[in-house]
Chain A
């Protein structure tokens, strides 16, 4: 009996050792911060050389909080179609997404250098025209009306347009045109504008925007002109930022 007990003890000790061997190293220390929690985001949206193989991912630091929250929520719910984001955000609460939006909104990050201008002088002229004046004949407002005089967005829901990859912007024009990034929220807003624009126009606008330097000490504009707030009402009103 004694031997049996001894054998059992030895055996248990052996097991314990084996388990210990597996977990001998001290647990990784994890800072209790938002920066740590959004590591999955910065794998693609980060500062460093982490733009993947296709340089597609947009910058999100410093964008208006309401805009970011809307995008996160829409990705999660499948209303803005991009499967990698939908998979990443499945089972997140609004509360947590809002916290992530607030984090990135407040994040100060140096902008990347502007892209080389990939547009002819005629295209540049066309882009400037659309961005600053729009085309009243087709009811296309100037970009600056909503996205701010400096094109750095308008708080809290309209994104800035500078510092983004050209091909990302071209892809977004395509998405707006084909039914809208945010289904059900786009009836009167960007999707109508995108549908009016020709491919040549969107290419010119994207090329011009991507080649612009970032104005110093700039950020999102404070308020949306009343007329535009009315036109894009669905985006401005339906989003509730608690």
Chain B
């Protein structure tokens, strides 16, 4: 016990040190816990209800607050992180187990301040670090919509948070250091469309929750980092949305960004894994205007890397021999769809030549695609997608490594070699989502 306390004290001291150094040290106005709920009855207009439904989609609340094949919004989905396993909560209006007794003020506090109804600070597995940018009006609309759902009686399972992160004091210090509440403030020099896009990307869309690297304490670098990172507890890498080497959009056409976001496919890239789910459940439902606004904002992000930085391996005889073996596997299993020159069929079978999904430094997404295959999401804009067969059952780890190393260095592509060990590690990840 003594040791546990010592560890907590050490961590607190470390955090306090960070806080002093940090410029964003903000103490959150503490409200007394258990404050009487606002019982004021609100009459929701139909307009605000349908707006709320739309915004809940755009924020993809359902994505986390629904267990696989469970009732919508009733919670129960596990989010595994280095800090423990968080179980999402029931946000249907059930009075006993959901948020039926909440007021719009309570809801606002959760979104904006990251605090539960009883005043307890929430863990940032709930992305209030992003949702804090949502306006009060939008928060109220989402709440109004959630209150119209059919109540589902499903008790919240307790999260299993690891020591020492289960100490609430530690969480409060974390919040003081890394969390700055504040509604999105439009940038005066930018167009209304750009600002709308920024609001959606930074706030409601909470893109940063995945597309940013987290430090060992689970914090991202800031409002619009979007620098890419491995998704917590999953074997997927969320590519950087600023890097020219990954998924930066600086050189994309606006209509193709919109197409990718709302249909899941585009001539240059196809969504897969967690992003396919985001497109399926959230982004495909955006209005044309909002999708375009997001595209305009994403395209405007300053590029952090350029393509000329990528280097392939030195072409030793050994490497050339590996590429010949990789090419033979490619010809047998991949060429039918992706073409002899990796040209693919844009929008159907993704081109591999010049594809950043193929060449970006962490190869885990490419490995997963080969092992597990998959379809892009069946969206309204692409209801009958073509798909990729899984090869986990037919190719050995070594063969997957050879063919990927070849693809990453063929037809003008340059990237590091993929090792058998990397493939093997991804196989373990097949059980993860």
Residues of A within 8 A of B (CB): 18-19, 21-30, 36-37, 39-44, 50, 52-54, 77-79, 83-84, 87-93, 95-96, 99
Partner of A91 from the list B280, B384, B412, B430 (CB cut-off 8 Å) is B280
Distance between Cα atoms of A89 and B392 in the complex (Å): 15
Chain B positions within 8 Å of A23 at CB level: 343, 351, 353-354
**Chain B contacts of A79 at CB under 8 A?**
69
- CB-based closest 5 A-B pairs: A43-B389, A91-B377, A77-B69, A25-B341, A52-B393
Whether the Cβ atoms of B344 and A27 lie closer than 8 Å is yes
Shortest A233–chain B CB gap in Å is 21
Of residues 203 through 244 on chain B, the ones whose CB sits less than 8 Å from some CB of chain A are none
> Which residues from chain A contact B383 at a C-beta distance below 8 Å?
93, 95-96
Q: Which residue of A lies closest to B279 (CB)?
A: A91
Query: What's the count of A-B pairs with C-beta under 8 Å?
Result: 117
- Rounded to whole Å, the gap between the CB of A18 and the closest CB of chain B is 8
Instruction: For A27, list chain B residues within 8 Å (CB).
Output: 339, 343-346
CB-CB under 8 A from A18, the residues of chain B are: 412
Out of B348, B373, B412, B431, name the residue touching A43 (CB < 8 Å).
Answer: B373
Q: Shortest distance in angstroms between B310's beta carbon and chain A's nearest beta carbon?
A: 14
Given known pairs A25-B341, A83-B430, A84-B372, the reply for A37 and B387 (CB within 8 Å) is yes
A26: chain B residues at CB < 8 Å are: 343
CB neighbours (8 Å) of B280 from chain A are 91
**CA–CA, A53 to B392, complex, Å?**
11
Contact B387 A24 (CB under 8 A): no
**Cα distance A9–B322 in the bound complex, in angstroms:** 40
* Chain B contacts for A52, CB-based, 8 A: 393-394
25 interchain pairs, CB-CB under 8 A: A19-B354, A23-B353, A24-B343, A27-B344, A28-B339, A28-B345, A28-B349, A29-B345, A37-B386, A37-B387, A39-B337, A40-B387, A43-B391, A43-B393, A44-B389, A50-B394, A52-B394, A87-B374, A88-B373, A89-B375, A90-B277, A91-B277, A93-B378, A96-B378, A96-B383
Query: A29 to chain B: closest CB distance in Å?
Result: 7
B353 lies within 8 A of A84 (CB)? no
CB distance from A63 to the nearest CB of B (A): 20
For A22, list chain B residues within 8 Å (CB). 353-354, 411-412
Say how far A146's CB is from chain B's closest CB, in angstroms.
25
Taking the complex as formed, is B24 at the interface, i.e. its CB lies under 8 A from any CB of chain A? no
Nearest B residue (CB) for A24:
B341
Given A26-B343, A83-B431, check contact A96 B388 (CB 8 Å).
no
Distance between A33 CB and nearest chain B CB, rounded to angstroms: 10
Interface centre among A37, A41, A43, A95, by most chain B C-beta atoms within 10 angstroms, is A43
Q: Give the CA-CA distance A11 to B385 in the complex, in Å.
A: 38
B343 & A43 in contact (Cβ 8 Å cutoff): no
- Enumerate chain A residues within 8 angstroms of B186, measured Cβ to Cβ: none
Interface 0/1 of B262-292, CB less than 8 Å to A: 0010000000000011011000000000000
Shortest CB distance A30–B (Å):
5
A92 nearest in chain B by CB position: B378
> A84 and B393: CB pair below 8 A?
yes
Closest to B351 in A: A23
Contact B387 A88 (CB under 8 A): yes
When C-beta atoms are compared, the residue in chain B nearest to A77 turns out to be B69
Contacts of A21 on B, CB cut-off 8 Å?
412
Q: A52-B394, A91-B375 are in contact. List 8 more A-B contacts (CB 8 A).
A: A37-B387, A50-B394, A53-B394, A78-B68, A78-B69, A79-B69, A87-B373, A90-B277
Determine which of B345, B354, B391, B393 lies in contact with A30 in the assembled complex, contact meaning CB atoms within 8 Å.
B345
- With a cutoff of 8 Å between Cβ atoms, the chain B residues found around residue A41 in the complex are 389
